[in-house]
Amino acid sequence: MRDEYDFSSAKRANEVPHLAKLQAESESGKSRITIFLDDDVLAEFKKRASQSGKGYQTLINEALRHSISPDSAPITVEVLRKILHEELHVA
Among residues 37, 24, 83, the alpha carbon closest in space to that of 64 is found at 37
Among residues 72, 25, 35, the alpha carbon closest in space to that of 57 is found at 35
Rg value, the chain, Cα: 23
The answer to whether residue 50 sits within a structural domain is yes
Host domain of residue 59? 36-91
The answer to whether residue 59 sits within a structural domain is yes
The answer to whether residue 45 sits within a structural domain is yes
Residue pair 44/56 in contact (Cβ under 8 Å)? The answer is no
For the segment 64-82, what is each residue's pLDDT rounded down to a tens digit? 988 888 676 677 888 888 8
For the chain, give the mean pLDDT.
87
Task: Identify residue 53 by its one-letter amino acid code.
Answer: G
For the segment 54-64, what is each residue's pLDDT rounded down to a tens digit? 999 999 998 99
For the segment 24-36, what is each residue's pLDDT rounded down to a tens digit? 776 677 777 899 9
The answer to whether residue 54 sits within a structural domain is yes
Residue pair 45/56 in contact (Cβ under 8 Å)? The answer is yes
The answer to whether residue 9 sits within a structural domain is no
The total of structural domains in the chain comes to 1
The answer to whether residue 31 sits within a structural domain is no
The answer to whether residue 52 sits within a structural domain is yes
State what percent of residues in the chain have pLDDT above 70.
92
pLDDT-derived band at 48, boundaries 50, 70, 90: very high
The answer to whether residue 84 sits within a structural domain is yes
Per-residue confidence (pLDDT) for residue 31, from 0 to 100: 79
pLDDT-derived band at 37, boundaries 50, 70, 90: very high
Please tell me the number of Cα atoms within 13 Å of 69 on its side-chain side. Answer: 4
Crossing angle of the two packed helices 39-52 and 56-68, in degrees rounded to 10:
110
